[in-house]
Amino acid sequence: MRLFLLRHALAKEGAFDDARPLSGGGEAQVRRLCSVLNKELFTSLAQIWHSPYLRASQTAEMFKECMGLGAQCVVANNIRPIDPAESAAASIASISGFGGDLLIVGHNPNLEELANILLGHSRPFAKTRFSNCAIACFELEDFPNAANKFGTWSLEFLVSPQTLG
């Protein structure tokens, strides 16, 4: 199983955090990211989970469209910025044996904490950084078990807008 974590693209400033849409710059970020990613990486994508926040759902839908993906977008209420990353890690672990890959579109600090959990890094020292519209790919090496409830994961790549120029 591969797991892709994508932080939402740049959003407009606004009063209500959960209702902020993508900015024009954010839409450009998604298009640029999609133009450099190999679409073959996503052929086994089963679902796209995104937070209920508007900027995350827009990023998910735009990524899906730009990459020509057939995977269904699903709202996941445990990947908002305020949610404990352990909840998302448990959800991922619960489906890791079903086959197919998963893309999660979310926010910081949740995504950074989730990445650190998957890689076995403990807080408070963050090891993985997600800028807006950064995507990471993790590969499941060992299924969750009694000794490691979230499984063993390796980081295959992390691409951010800064690395794209």
91-121, pLDDT tens digit by residue?
Answer: 999 998 888 999 999 999 999 999 999 998 7
Q: What percent of the chain has pLDDT over 90?
A: 82
- Give residue-wise pLDDT tens across range 14-48: 868 899 999 999 999 999 999 999 999 999 999 99
pLDDT at 165: 67
Which tokens go with 51? Answer: 């937070």
CATH topology of domain 2-164: Rossmann fold (3.40.50)
Looking at residue 104, its pLDDT comes to 98
Interhelix angle 85-95/110-118, rounded to 10 degrees, is: 50
* 124 pLDDT higher than 70: no
